[in-house]
Structure 1
Amino acid sequence: MLLPVHYLTSYLTAVVLLGSVVTAKSYCQPTQPCWPSVKQWKALNASTNHRLIQVTPLARPCYLNITSDECGLVQSIYYDAAGRTDSPGASFWTNYETCGNKDCVMDLLVPGLVVGPGSCELGRLSPYALVASSPKDISAAILFAKRYNIKVVIKNTGHDLQGRSSAPGSLLIWTHEMKHKKYYPRFDACGAYNQPAIAIGAGVQGLEAYTFADSVGVTIPGGHCPTVGLAGGWFSGGGYGFMTPLYGLGVDNVLQVTLVTADGVTRVLNSCSPDRELFWAIRGGGGGTWGVVTEVVFKVYPQQALISFDFEYTVSADATSANATSLLKDFITTLAAMQPRMMALNGSASAVLSNYQVAGGYVIPGKNLSAIPKAFSPLTSFFARWNGLLTGNHTITPLEKFIDILPIASKWDSELSGVSARMSSRLIPKSLFNSTNSISKLADAILEGYALNIPPGSPQSQVPLLASLPIFIVMEGPYNHQDNSETAIHSAWRDMYWFVYYQNGWTKNLAELAPIVSSAVSVAADPLRALTPGFGTYFNEADVDEKDWKSAFFGENYDRLLKVKKKYDLYFILMILMG
């Protein structure tokens, strides 16, 4: 079983009200008499200008003929995030394509099984998808699902790390082809803003948005991963990125949202629209539940010169376990001690660390190269202290504009997709960075979580692919942007310095590790949860088994969000787990 039973069955007898157990809703399934006939599906197809398709799992050609040219093409993109986003029959992680023992998954990383055993089945993939091109199409699909009591899921890229964009027996609204982009030299929705902006369709991905913004001489805030869709779950869950310290979270930069709600009505949301409460909710209350977004208008900024400080070091194989732990603690405490200074510089950073490596990079706005050596002297001193166990280099690079950071960041911010995986995470409050004692406790908690995720001698520690999985530290909070409750984002974001997360996974050849790995990665965040009681985590990158999820994901906003949900989707046509 790839996920706990409650997680899988919640899509068949759905537990709703923002994921709470207040109301249970049963959806119609393909094996039941309530399921629409072929004639009724054809009618929906005709009403949407023939935009309805039957979903085919990405790996199906290989189940049919492993030596075919079509299978060769699938294999070439199977672990490529960009390739997977172009298919409605794929998710970023393959456990969200799997339901029990039903799937259509491949394994190219571990020698042995490539496809099978068993036949190619949809698993958690939808049997039908609407390839959305307009709000009218989307409205027709939503009303059809409402009439026949079919669960609706929404997907652009399938990059959802909690699997909220897939569900068995659902109707998928696939927004991936809504790629329109428009630059406004002056955007004024209701008199509150009269500055440059860019409108992007729901299918526009990060690199596409950055390239378009660059072509008109501006910068649009966005995330790290070039394949993530900016006008979907990224912004509605909060949305962090390289420019977050300078410009705020994704929710801080949304001027207007156009979406189709569960009643089939297209609504334009902004700070002076009649649906202001929905505008508040969708900015931080999470994606997939408020409506199907078709367009978002973002603030944009003048192109900004940057300085990159990136580093990549390998830990010597001769390092003992104790030495490696001491090295990693020194590394974490060094980064933590630097954090207030980085905040003052509007600097952002990401780091990955394990018993095998320390790598990452900083991005500092500006052109003052002369200030960089002093700002990073604690880190260069760390590299010097551990010269006997570390091999690698660090590089300082001046950059003319934001888009130039992407090739550099890809070295330490790569995307591994096409495998089954789970994660857990925690936001870290700035109060833990006030003293050497609190920083030491933070470092200990992070390393304790690392040991819990991949315990020495555990089955996963014997698999090189899993044993080398690192700790991830994201150091780019919206420290300098307080929103005064204008958005629904968890208030912990306004008081955090770091976001720490752990990942673990398995392949089809290692499916027996699924329950072990799932449990391990879930408890890995426990030391940080204990260190930060009452704080929270990032809704988009979190544990699907987060026990205190209302507080961790939504904080004090949960009750207000629930009222908005009841107003706009009383019958829960749009429902996701814990959101």
Structure 2
Amino acid sequence: MTYATDTPGNTLKPSAPGLIVFPMTEGDVRKIVTFAAKYRIRVVGKCSGHDQLQRSNGYGVIQLVTTKGFKNISYNETDHTITFGAGNAHADTYAFLAEKKRFAVGGTWAYVCPAGCLSNGCYGFFTKEFGTGADNVVGLRFMLFNGTTLNLDATGPHRDLFWAILGGGASSYGVLLGITAKTYEAPDQFIIMKVFLSVWPTNMTKDDGVPSVFTRFLTNLTWYQTVPDHISWQLDHKPADMNMLLQISYTGRTTVEVATEELSALIAEWTEAGYYQIHGVEGYSDVADFAVKNSGPGAPIRRVSQSIYVDANQEALDKVAALWEMLYSGNFESPVGSDPFDGAFFFWAQYRYGSGSYAGKAPHVARGMRTAMMEIAHENVWMKQADDMDRAPISNMVKELMEPLGNSSYQNHCSSWASYNVYDDYKTRFYQNWEGLTAVKKKYDPCNLYVVQYGPGWDLPKATCGLSSTTSTKRPPPKRPPPRRHA
């Protein structure tokens, strides 16, 4: 077990932990949590730290990081489940399953940890067909504030805690140690088709009275519902080039020939309507291969990322189409930063939702992930603090344009901008059944020691008691025999 009192970037964040601990075993974790509970110190669990609401850190807390230990992975040949420690990243679990020609439902980013992703819903390449990652979890290994370790599932005596963890607030209840999840037969080849489409039909503009590619296809609910659940994509806007890139994922368990035929049908539709420009097909041996090769380097040090889940509702989708058309009108321009490594604004969307996500059974996953047709987002990245006053306010402007379009919003950390992540409606924006989650919180963490930003217990007094006031390690005094009665 190793310790640290600082990590790179802590001075830039407004909620730096007081002590960072890297446990290697469950025994290490037990020592940490019981020590913290005894002295009323808050503990926050962390793996990759990609949580968009900053629920993996906190000012003055003990931050428990699982990335050095808890790397175990095993596969059950009988029920085809995978069990893995909370320190694994998606790249680890995907690569392990690839050898067995299986896959698990998780995120799209190779270096994000499933432990955090699953506890907040987690969508990915297979969500449209099989639901969120949280819907596919069948077991959890979890440690409470007093060091008690529980094996949780959907039908056991602690099923309320099981479901609360899956979508109900990350490490709000204790420390997640391990996960068991369903797996499925993998495709022979993981196919990505990259397609460039124009905003307007060839040689035409909005002034010609023709529909944009958004209203005709990409925000057209009726059309989207004809696309099979094993076809999903990410859309990357490119306003400077007046086109967009669709990275289409084909996850059907069919032959390459069948996949090619289905994807060609999409190309034919877009070509006939006049929006198609060019495409190419890439084949990957498995999901791990694709995730690693397409995750890219880490983000620049200064960053704002905001996203909205947009309901499968045509009225809402029409508003998205209008916003996207504005991006291509020339009225919205991103300022150029002073550093040559600055990125511009990136606008993108994830089309990962469908019958699988709509029918998901994890009850506390944010409503937006259940009712969405897509997630739309923008990213703003820059390098120098001197550019803060130019860059960050534009993100706030975009946020005002985006928020009315959906029912669930996430704004990722901007390491130097103090006004981010202010949501007065967090109880309904990020969760379902806040009252039920609060009841679970009080039951399993009665002292409110595991408080994370915007998680259950956030609105209650923190660290109200310690381990000594809830449990006692002293032996009870021996019972004395009753006094003898004399005749």
* TM-score normalized by the length of structure 1: 0.67
2:351–2:374 contact (8 Å) kept in structure 1: yes
The aligned residue for residue 511 of structure 1 is: 388
Unaligned runs of 5+ in 1: 1-50, 59-89, 91-95, 101-123, 187-194, 317-321, 388-392, 530-534
- 2:138 matched residue in structure 1: 255
CA apart distance, 1:478: 4.6
Alignment correspondent of 1:480: 356
Q: Amino acid of the residue matched to residue 157 of structure 2? A: P
Q: How much identity, in percent, do the aligned residues show?
A: 21
Question: Higher helix fraction: Structure 1 or Structure 2?
Answer: 1
- Residue 288 of structure 1, aligned match among 171, 174, 183: 171
The reply on whether 1:208 has 2:92 as its aligned counterpart is: yes
* Selected match of 1:425 from 302, 307, 313: 307
Deviation for aligned residue 1:259: 1.2
The corresponding residue for 1:5 is none
Q: Does structure 1 residue 181 correspond to structure 2 residue 73?
A: yes
Q: Helix, strand or coil for the counterpart of 1:470? A: strand
Paired residues for 1:321-332 under 5 Å? 329-331=212-214
1:515–1:403: structure 2 CA closer, same or farther, 3 Å change rule? closer
Distance 1:57 1:481, change over 3 A: closer
Return the match for 2:237 from 335, 348, 353: 353
Unaligned runs of 5+ in 2: 200-204, 415-419, 456-487
Amino acid of the residue matched to residue 551 of structure 1? T
Which residue identity is paired with 2:224? Q
* Distance of 1:302 and 1:396 partners within structure 2: 22
Change (3 A) 1:486 1:456: closer
Could you say if the C-alpha distance between residues 139 and 463 of structure 1 is closer, same or farther in structure 2, counting changes exceeding 3 Å? same
Per the TM alignment, residue 576 of structure 1 is displaced from its structure 2 partner at its CA by: 1.3
Q: Residue 304 of structure 1 is aligned with which of 178, 187, 190?
A: 187
CA contact (8 A) 2:232 2:249 kept: yes
| 2:225 aligned counterpart, secondary structure | helix
Runs of 4+ in 1 over 6 A off after TM superposition: 460-467, 538-543
Q: How does 1:269-288 map to 2 (within 5 A)?
A: 269-288=152-171
1:289 to partner: Cα distance? 0.9
CA distance in 2, matches of 1:225, 1:255: 22
Task: Tell me how far apart the structure 2 counterparts of residues 274 and 540 of structure 1 sit (CA, whole Å).
Answer: 36
Decide whether the 8 Å contact of 2:52 with 2:410 is kept in 1.
no
CA 1:406 to 1:570, structure 2 compared with 1: closer, same or farther past 3 Å? same
Residue 321 of structure 2 corresponds to residue 443 of structure 1: yes
CA 1:482/1:57 → structure 2, altered by over 3 Å: closer, same or farther? closer
Partner of 1:558: 434
* 1:520 counterpart residue number: 397
Closer/same/farther in 2, CA of residues 379 and 163 from structure 1, 3 Å limit: farther
Amino acid in structure 1 at the alignment position of 2:313: S
Q: Which amino acid aligns with 1:374?
A: A
Q: Out of 245-254 and 354-363, give the one that drifted further.
A: 354-363
Rounded to whole Å, the distance in 2 between the matches of 1:99 and 1:541 is: 9
Aligned match of 1:239 in 122, 132, 140?
122
* Structure 1 counterpart of 2:373, from 473, 481, 497: 497
- Structure 1 position 335 matched with structure 2 position 251: no
Between the aligned partners of 1:521 and 1:466, the Cα distance in structure 2 is: 19
Q: Which has the larger radius of gyration?
A: 2
Distance 1:330 1:394 in 2: 16
Describe the SS at the equivalent of 2:24. coil
Cα root mean square deviation, aligned:
3.6
Q: By how many angstroms is 1:461 displaced? A: 7.9
Q: Which of 52, 60, 63 in structure 2 is aligned with 1:169? A: 60
Q: Is the 8 A contact 1:205 1:226 kept in 2?
A: yes
How far the C-alpha of 1:419 sits from its partner, in A, is 1.6
Following superposition, the deviation at residue 53 of structure 1 comes to 1.2
Distance 1:144 1:469 in 2: 45
Q: 1:228 to 1:428 in 2, by over 3 A?
A: same
How far residue 262 of structure 1 moved from its aligned partner, in angstroms, is: 2.2
Cα deviation digits, residues 202-252 of structure 1 (max 9, x gap): 11001111111112332122211100111x210010010001122221011
- Distance of aligned partners of 1:97 and 1:519 in 2 relative to their CA distance in 1, 3 Å threshold: farther
Partner of 1:224: 108
Is the 8 Å Cα contact of residues 198 and 300 (structure 1) preserved in structure 2? yes
Q: Is the 8 A contact 1:306 1:363 kept in 2?
A: no
The answer on whether the counterparts of 1:506 and 1:513 sit within 8 Å (CA) in structure 2 is no
Alpha-carbon shift at residue 517 of structure 1 (Å): 4.6
Cα distance in 1, alignment partners of residues 405 and 358 from structure 2: 24
**How much has 1:440 moved relative to structure 2?**
3.4
Return the alpha-carbon distance in structure 1 between the equivalents of residues 413 and 350 of structure 2: 12
Query: Compared with structure 1, are the counterparts of its residues 130 and 214 closer, same or farther at alpha carbon in structure 2 (3 Å cutoff)?
Result: same
Question: CA contact under 8 A between 2:196 and 2:246: conserved in structure 1?
Answer: no
* CA spacing shift, 1:151–1:311, aligned 2, 3 Å: same
Q: Indicate the SS of the match to 1:554.
A: coil
Q: Is the 8 A contact 2:140 2:151 kept in 1?
A: yes
Contact 1:197–1:299 at 8 Å: present in 2 too? Answer: yes
**1:263/1:418 CA distance change after superposition, 3 Å:** farther
Tell me if the contact between 2:128 and 2:230 (Cα under 8 Å) persists in the aligned partners.
yes
Question: Following TM superposition, by how much is the alpha carbon of 1:573 offset from its aligned partner in structure 2, in angstroms?
Answer: 1.1
Please report how far the alpha carbon of residue 269 of structure 1 lies from its aligned counterpart in structure 2 after TM superposition: 0.6
Compute the displacement of 1:385 (Å): 4.0
- Corresponding letter in the other structure for 1:566: K
**Cα distance in 1 for residues equivalent to 2:194 and 2:361:** 37
| Amino acid of the structure 2 residue aligned with 1:221 | V
The answer to whether the 8 A contact 1:134-1:294 is kept is no
SS state at 1:142 partner: helix
Cα distance, 1:525 vs. partner?
1.9
Letter of the 1:224 counterpart: T
Matched to 2:320, the amino acid is L
Of 12, 30, 36, the match for 1:98: 12
Q: Is the 8 A contact 1:333 1:443 kept in 2?
A: no
Are residues 1:138 and 2:14 paired? no
- SS of the residue corresponding to residue 356 of structure 2 reads coil
1:539–1:468 Cα change, 3 Å? closer
Q: Can you list the C-alpha shifts for 1:345-394, whole angstroms capped at 9, x where unaligned?
A: 43221111131352231112133122321133334456x5476xxxxx41
- 1:266 — aligned with what? 149
Residues 117-174 of structure 1 show CA distances to partners (whole Å, capped at 9, x for unaligned) of xxxxxxx433422212222211221222222232322211122233222223221101
Alpha-carbon distance change, 222 to 415 in structure 1, aligned in 2, over 3 angstroms? farther
Check whether the contact 1:291–1:574 (CA below 8 A) recurs between aligned residues.
yes
Q: Could you tell me the TM-score, scaled by structure 2's length?
A: 0.78
Q: Kindly state the Cα deviation for residue 528 of structure 1 after the two structures are TM-superposed.
A: 1.1
Q: Is the 8 A contact 2:48 2:112 kept in 1?
A: yes
Deviates further, 142-151 or 478-487: 478-487
CA distance in 2, matches of 1:380, 1:403: 32
Matched residue count: 434
CA gap 1:496/1:456 in 2 versus in 1, 3 angstroms: closer
1:441 Cα shift? 3.0
Sort the Cα spacing of 1:315 and 1:468 in 2 relative to 1 into closer, same or farther, 3 A: farther
| CA 308–172 in structure 1, closer or farther in 2 if over 3 Å, else same | same
Output the CA distance in 1 between the equivalents of 2:300 and 2:5: 18
